[in-house]
Every structure is written in C-alpha cells, then in structure tokens.
Amino acid sequence: MSDERDVDQKRPGLTRYRYALLIGVFICFPPSLPLAHAQNDRAPSTSQARQLLHAAIEALGGETFLALKTIVGKGMYSQFDENGNLEFLAKFVDYIVYPDKERTEFGKGKNRFIQTNIGTTGWIYDGQQKAIRDQTPEQVENFQRGFRHSLDNILRRWHQSKPPLRYLGEREIWFRQRGQGVEIRFTLPDGSEDVVEVYIDPQTHLPLSVAYGNEEDRFFLYQDIDGIRWPFRIDHYRNGVQTSRIAYSSVVFNRAVDPRLFEKPTNPKKVK
C-alpha cells in the first residue's frame, strides 16, 4: 500500500539530497589516471549495491515476493499535522491488483470514503456528500507517485529493468538503527530521473526505509505470511516530520479480487 496520496484536502490516501578537490586531482595527475580510478571504484560499489538488493528480495520472499499478483490489507490509518497531533484516524481496507490497480476504503456508512485508481484514471466516492467524482489530474499524479515508490514496486521495478545503482555505505538512519544504503536511478516514461534510496538492515537484510525527494517510508514489525515477509507498520515522513502511519491488522496475498471493485459506479447507490 502506498502512502500520502491526499486526494481530498484533509482526506488521506493509501499510497529527498545528497570542486575544489577535483581541481586538485586534475592538477596532480594526468587525466587518464583519475578516470581509471573512478572506473575501478564504481565496479565494486555497483556490485555491492546489487548484492544488497538481491539479499533484500530474498529476505522478503524471493521469487514468491516478486510473483505477487494481489494484496488485500486491513488495519488502521493515522494522519498527523506538522506538530505531530493526530488529525485523522480510521479503519481501512486496501486492495492492490498488479500492475496498476488499487482501491482503498475508509470508514463505514455515511463516513465511508473510497479512492480507486486504475492506471492513469481514478475515481472517488464520498459517503458524507453521497457523491462520486473523477480524480483530478493532480490527484492521479499523486497516486502514481506514491504507488511507484511503495517498497514492493521499487524492488520489482529494479529487478525487471536493472537501472543504475550506487552503494551509499552504512550509517545510522534512526536512533540505534543502522542501515546499508543503495541509490537507484530510475528513468521515468517522460525521460526524467527518479532517484530512490533504499536502506537495508545489515543483519536481517530486510528493508528499513525508502527515501525519495523530501519523503521517506520506514518499515517495522515484519511478519511472515505464506513465505513472504511484510512490514505491518509503515511510518511516512516529509521533511523529517512524521505525517502518517499505516498499521496492518491482516494481509492476504494472491486472493482473487472482484474486478467490479475498480469499476466506477453510475450513481452513489450502486457503490459496492
């Protein structure tokens, strides 16, 4: 489930940074020498980064994890303001059908709120207003950004396309938790670059965090379900401040999902 979709003002949705020395190098050595050293340095860095991602995928379930077709998750979603105060709390049910479908439901009855996305389209049901409407282009874009930066999608995208990697070394990523980092440089359909950092526990090889732009997801409480290890808590940060939490109570993999759940109803009374 991807995070921080923010489809409707306060409504939530489920779905970062890094001359003079170079001048000195080129003055002291012939141009061919720094280039040779750079090439030699890149090879082990790339190899180490690749080994880390392969280890992470294996820790998550290997081929079983990569072959996921559907995910149905239930739990509680919390959203916080810039001061850390709870702003929104609701039960959710989330349906994901790969490669590009997701439906997230919040609440019940008149407080029911549904966000559904299929590729480049999406619709919203608002129980309080008893209304169905198409998502705006900005809302769809926010969904797509969150969806492609979910942990499962990042690792699947890397495994399929093998974009450039860079090993970032080991550091403390939060208090008393160290992680080894990998930078992945994806190329988006419009030709722009999408830089993602993944930090992995050096002991368990499980992913600890994913960072992109000014946002970060942190993963906790992994549980083993049918051969796949899944984080049952995901905390989302923006500019270093926590903005939301996904706390799963249950997750089911590869269950058949009724395709009608993704079809836009003709009127609010026909919402399933």
- Digit-by-digit pLDDT tens for the chain (272 residues) are 555 444 454 444 455 322 232 223 222 333 333 433 344 445 568 999 999 999 999 999 999 999 999 999 999 999 999 888 999 999 999 999 999 999 999 998 888 999 999 999 999 999 999 999 999 999 999 999 999 999 999 999 999 999 999 999 999 999 999 999 999 999 999 999 999 999 999 999 999 999 999 999 999 999 999 999 999 999 999 999 999 999 999 999 999 999 999 999 988 888 87
Which residues have a Cβ under 8 Å from the Cβ of 64 and sit 6 or more positions away?
A: 226, 227, 228
pTM of this structure: 0.83
In a domain, 154, yes or no: yes
In a domain, 23, yes or no: no
In a domain, 9, yes or no: no
| Residue-range definition of the domain harbouring residue 144 | 46-270
In a domain, 140, yes or no: yes
**pLDDT value of position 151:** 96
In a domain, 26, yes or no: no
In a domain, 73, yes or no: yes
**pLDDT value of position 268:** 87
Q: Tell me if 184 sits within 8 A of 165, measured CB to CB.
A: yes
Nearest to 75 by CA among 19, 27, 14, 138: 14
Considering its fold, how many domains does the chain have in total? 1
**pLDDT value of position 34:** 40
**pLDDT value of position 39:** 43
In a domain, 188, yes or no: yes
In a domain, 29, yes or no: no
CATH code for the domain in which residue 115 is found: 2.50.20.10
Nearest to 98 by CA among 222, 1, 206: 1
Q: Tell me if 125 sits within 8 A of 112, measured CB to CB.
A: yes
Nearest to 212 by CA among 169, 170, 150, 163: 150
**pLDDT value of position 3:** 55
